[in-house]
Amino acid sequence: MNPAVLPTFRWCLTIPCLLVFAAFALLNLQIFFSQLRNPQGRSLGPVVGGLFGAIGIFLMPIEGAMKYCWLPLVVDIGCGPMIVMALIEAIHSRESQS
């Protein structure tokens, strides 16, 4: 493969991954706020958007971008924040059962 083509190929993988991340992050945010108003038991798309975002940043052909591949996992409310909330709820329910 021609070395000049590699950055273009990486951008062709990065952009769709980041678009999927953005779609999932916005959808998760919308679901989160709609559940605050009217809890219905709808599930957030856990981890999917954050993983696509992490992969997109990991593949990004910009020097130094790779060290920020953890950021989508924290920004997407369906990933890090949801996992933290689930852990807190599990600990709280375990304490209330004791």
Domain ranges in the chain? 6-97
The predicted structure's pLDDT at residue 64: 94
Range 14-31 average pLDDT? 93
Q: What is the pLDDT of residues 27-75, one digit of tens each?
A: 988 888 887 788 776 666 778 899 999 999 999 999 999 999 999 999 9
The reply to whether the predicted model has a pTM over 0.85 is: no
Segment holding 89, helix H or strand E: helix 80-97
- Does residue 1 register a pLDDT over 70? no
Which tokens hold the place of 23?
């779609």
Phi and psi at residue 12, in whole multiples of 5°? -65, -25
Q: Residues 68, 62: contact at Cβ < 8 Å?
A: no
> Which pLDDT does position 85 carry in this prediction?
78
CA distance 11 to 35: 36
